[in-house]
A and B are shown apart, each in its own frame.
Chain A
Amino acid sequence: GQQLNQSPQSMFIQEGEDVSMNCTSSSIFNTWLWYKQDPGEGPVLLIALYKAGELTSNGRLTAQFGITRKDSFLNISASIPSDVGIYFCAGPVNSGGSNYKLTFGKGTLLTVNP
């Protein structure tokens, strides 16, 4: 099936630094989603992107839908300790007819040192 390649796998940064992570695919996606999973919790949607070239912000988070529709980027500015967690990109994959299923990248583990 279609795969999403997410990088980096993990990041160790100092509080206050900016963070950038990305997700690529060999296939075109019509929607890109970014989720965050706090330790011991289920993933929570951060940002949804629906249009190539779209740049969307949510507080200190900014995500972009790549022009080629095969990639997406998530940036976090001025990181704080509560940014710790696993960040996943995801996109819907058609599974036949009007059915689809959500495919996730393997995640980026972010650690923020105070």
Chain B
Amino acid sequence: EAQVTQNPRYLITVTGKKLTVTCSQNMNHEYMSWYRQDPGLGLRQIYYSMNVEVTDKGDVPEGYKVSRKEKRNFPLILESPSPNQTSLYFCASEFSDTQYFGPGTRLTVL
């Protein structure tokens, strides 16, 4: 089954404790991206990747890092999380203008 998986689905952490949210797709898509969704603000792109080892900033990249060492995985890294990064995060992979979204990761930073 074609899918995008994210882990963990839910995470509660404390300020400053580094964390990684994993994302994996099994569709061999080159384009992947990360979004955060906040009430009243819709979906905002954090980072995207056009292919392996090619990443670029989206609209709200501050406080986040990504890596794309292999095509299927695109982890999102928060080196020092802060409360304003409490949000719902979605990973997506894309082919031919169609974005396939993961199930989301709800992150709470205390």
Q: Interface on A for B, CB 8 Å cutoff?
A: 1, 6, 31, 33, 35, 40-45, 48, 50, 88, 90, 92, 95, 99, 101-107
SS class of chain A's interface: helix, strand, loop or mixed? Answer: strand
B43 and A88: CB pair below 8 A? yes
B45 and A41: CB pair below 8 A? no
Total interface residues on B, CB under 8 Å, equals: 24
- In the complex with contacts A31-B97, A88-B43, A42-B92 CB distance below 8 A: yes
Within 8 A of A (CB), among B29-44: 33, 35, 40-44
CA distance A113 to B104 in the complex (A): 27
CB distance from A112 to the nearest CB of B (A): 21
- In the complex with contacts A1-B59, A102-B33, A41-B104 CB distance below 8 A: yes
Determine the chain B residues whose CB is within 8 A of the CB of A31 once the complex forms.
97
Pick from A6, A48, A99, A101: contact of B97, CB below 8 A: A48
